[in-house]
Amino acid sequence: MLRVRCLRGGSRGAEAAHYIGSRLRGAFTGWVQRTFQSTQAAAASQNTCAADDKAASPVPKDCPVCSYNEWDPLEEVIVGRAENACVPPFSVEVKANTYEKYWGFYQKFGGQGFPKDHLKKAIAEIEEMCNILKGEGVIVKRPDPIDWSVKYKTPDFESTGMYGAMPRDILLVVGNEIIEAPMAWRARFFEYRAYRRLIKDYFNSGAKWTTAPKPTMADELYDQNYPIHSVEDRHKLAAQGKFVTTEFEPCFDAADFIRAGRDIFVQRSQVTNYMGIEWMRRHLAPDYRVHIISFKDPNPMHIDATFNIIGPGLVLSNPDRPCHQIELFKKAGWTVIQPPVPLIPDDHPLWMSSKWLSMNVLMLDEKRVMVDANETSIQKMFEKLGISTVKVNIRHANSLGGGFHCWTCDIRRRGTLRSYLD
């Protein structure tokens, strides 16, 4: 039987390795090549198969943190806050991750709050979302409100903050462990502070707590001359394995990872580099297998509006950003579904994302999904799959860069660790 953990990066992976090797010392070139081999190919050996079958350490019964995938019955969740959200300064990494039509907005409002009326509506939408989750029997926790307009300075850079809106970006729950991502935007350097009270409570109740190596975010982490002038430029750069983040030090956003039991999938993106992926692979081995997958995406940043796993062997795959390894999933018996075109109007501001937030859904269990009330096409798609829809309107919250999956981090799902690919 095919094991998807054997999947390879193909030409894009080779190009990326060549690019990194050409930029760094010879010793590091060898390290990158070994990273690709160990992350994507070496796990196919028979010796590894024996290790894969070993049971992971059991999660204590009274631990409040336990989640292995994206679809087991949801019992507790963190939902972000839009309060005090600020537009990030228009730095090179922000420019590389945003659309040209909004660059003027960042240049004008960077370091200031988002438009007040819009933010007020977003806050109300998320409050209603929390109420609906509670009505569905889910415990809801919220991060602390923080003044994100405060300027800060490290030995390497100055910035203001952004928000505590998207816990999926900064927190990854694997079993009973909460992993704090290091992030890659300077405006998000101190974002973890909004969640520390919650994480300390979970830690004191028995959860594991890991903070990934914090990057300096010095100038060397970014290609200061990263050339972006058009969508065509972005496609070419992505195809060549070139991103605004370098391999100067590990960096990643948690939202570039998506979980399916023992197998966790990740993309190299504008905010997640190969060093960050390798850190995660070593940290989670041998109980979990981390696989790099790639997409035809001119601006990769966060995987869950491109490839969203919604059930055992069931995945939403963005038709505008096809996965280069999708045939391997199909051969493994997975059902691959292309969601319908989003219905969000062209004139609705999406300062940090694309319209494909329509597929950025939150599974409450295998048969219930939280979906945008305005996206009737995808609602019908779920109904045909036998999945009932819990409809919530978060159009204004979308403008801050996330859908339901982004706005949440599932802390506890009722389930056990399994492999869905063997």
User: Which residue is listed with tokens 């203001």?
Assistant: 160
**Alpha-carbon gap, residue 336 to 130, rounded angstroms:** 30
Residue 354 identity:
S
> 26-36 and 274-284 are packed helices; what angle lies between their axes, rounded to 10 degrees?
50
Beta strand 314-317 with 307-311 is: antiparallel
DSSP 8-state secondary structure symbol assigned to residue 25: -
- CB atoms near residue 286 (< 10 Å): 12
Beta strand 257-260 with 208-211 is: unpaired
Residue 355 identity:
K
Query: Strand pairing partners for 171?
Result: 180
What Rg do the C-alpha atoms of the chain give, in angstroms? Answer: 20
**Alpha-carbon gap, residue 126 to 232, rounded angstroms:** 36
Please state the φ and ψ torsions of residue 220, each to the nearest 5 degrees. Answer: -65, -20
Contact 68, 58 (CB under 8 A): no
Please state the φ and ψ torsions of residue 84, each to the nearest 5 degrees. Answer: 65, 15
Q: What is the 3-state secondary structure (H, E, C) of 137-149?
A: CCEEECCCCCCCC
Q: In the chain, what is the greatest distance between 2 CA atoms, to the nearest angstrom? A: 59
**Catalytic positions, please?**
253, 302, 406
Q: What is the dihedral of CA 85, 210, 268, 311, to 10 degrees?
A: -90
Q: Is 371 exposed, middle or buried (0-12, 13-18, 19+ CB in 10 A)?
A: buried
CA angle 253, 363, 376 (to 5 degrees): 105
- CB atoms near residue 278 (< 10 Å): 21
User: What does the chain come to in residues?
Assistant: 422
**Alpha-carbon gap, residue 295 to 345, rounded angstroms:** 25
